[in-house]
Amino acid sequence: MLSFSLSQGDSMAEDTLEVVPRIADIPAEQWDSCAGADNPFVRHAFLDALERSGSATPETGWAPRHLVARDALGQVAACAPLYLKSHSYGEYVFDWGWAEAYHRAGGRYYPKLQCCVPFTPVGGPRLLVREGGDRPALERLLLSGMIELARRHEASSLHVTFPTQSEHDRLTGLGLLGRIGQQYHWRNRGYECFEDFLADLSSRKRKAIRKERERANAQGLDIVTLSGSDVRDEHWDAFHRFYIDTTGRKWGRSAYLTRDFFLRLGETMPDSVVLVMAREGRRWVAGALNLLGGDTLYGRNWGALGEWPFLHFEMCYYRAIDEAIARGLTWVEAGAQGEHKIQRGYLPRPTFSAHWIADQSFRDAVARFLEHEREAVREDIEDLAEAGPFRHPQ
């Protein structure tokens, strides 16, 4: 565990930060007092499951370097999930082009520091501050600490990916480069049932979704939604098989998440899990994993052992909408990419990231690229939203 001190502004006082190589070394209740309860992915239990399961470790290119600031009593006042990376896999804010350009210019892009939740393209808080803390001061301290740590590791850059928009705005105000992406999210407009949602759509889109659901549910499969103690080891074992099989076929690479990760998730965060499973006879054949947040259902992973028309749409999109309406949630976030989601009621929303680059000339080049990219993404979001299935603007 590394500790170092930073002077803040003109003050003679120095604030001490700790760099912690295992989140298990930080008391869960202290971390969670900063993370809050609304976003399941920044909770201690989720990050700990990634590390203990072997999914996010130095051996997989994710070396934890969590940053912790303590108060005068030694309690955690602020923290940030932070990793020293030797590659750019599992991040979903793609900087492969930056790495290649820096390499061509004679630079060494890796290692880099990543403030994020591994393998999780979900927006949420990244600079975690305990309620009642001096947020502006503690965020500045965490950012200064991350930059200092990047320098000590001779890292090319620091990337804060999928922060909230307010965090993004504050980080860019402190000098980081801002980047905008997009995802497709569904919004609950006070619906009491799925038919209320369909009534908001144009006639043609409404009929298309009904037909998809009818076909998906007429293939001899039993589709169930499980949560809490209803999710057992047999479900996780089956789901992991789907996940491994689908990852290999779709992406042609090894899966990021281990079987032990899913088991730990079920053990330590059962009330956050919503697992949609499909069974053919007595055999589980497909599954979609969601996690519950304060006002959002987050679609995370999908897998299947075969091909069934429209089953993916039913289990990942429509059953998620059913669940969100039943629970009174405002949003469904169904993961990264996929313009096909638009016609199923999931409209584009911006996502954010913020970047610090050590080399000034390379920083200037990236800044020029991002200026053009931001404008293009904003225009794309506007154009795609206009092509949505709703009868009236959303």
pTM of the entire structure? 0.95
Q: Is the pLDDT of residue 64 over 50?
A: yes
The answer, yes or no, to whether residue 12 has pLDDT greater than 50, is: no
Winning range, highest mean pLDDT, from 3-7, 72-76, 146-150: 146-150
Residue 111: asked if its preceding bond is cis (omega within 30°), the reply is yes
> Using 50, 70 and 90 to split pLDDT, how confident is the model at 7?
low
349-364: average pLDDT = 98
List, by residue range, all CATH 3.40.630.30 domains of the chain. Answer: 2-182+349-386, 189-329
Give me the pLDDT at residue 10, please.
Answer: 44
Q: What is the pLDDT of residue 247?
A: 76
pLDDT at 40: 98
Question: So what's the pLDDT on residue 102?
Answer: 97
**Averaged pLDDT, 128-141:** 96
Give the model's pLDDT for residue 11.
Answer: 44
Query: Sorting pLDDT into bands at 50, 70 and 90, what band is 170?
Result: very high
| Both structure tokens of 42 | 């920044």
> What is residue 14's predicted lDDT score, i.e. its pLDDT?
61
Average pLDDT, the chain: 94
For residue 32, is pLDDT > 90? Answer: yes
CB atoms within 10 A of CB 294: 11
CATH of 189-329, one of 3.10.20.30, 1.10.1240.10, 3.40.630.30, 2.40.50.140: 3.40.630.30
Lowest mean pLDDT, pick from 5-14, 119-128, 203-212, 359-368: 5-14
* Between 2 and 136, residue with greater pLDDT: 136
Question: pLDDT category, 250, cuts 50, 70, 90?
Answer: low
Per-residue pLDDT band at 255 (split at 50, 70, 90): confident
The answer to whether residue 2 scores a pLDDT higher than 80 is no
CATH architecture of 2-182+349-386: 3-Layer(aba) Sandwich (3.40)
In this prediction, what percent of the chain has a pLDDT beyond 90?
89
Strand order in the sheet with 222-227: 62-64, 82-85, 112-115, 157-161, 347-357, 177-187, 331-333, 296-304, 283-292, 273-280, 222-227
The mean pLDDT value for 135-164 works out to 97
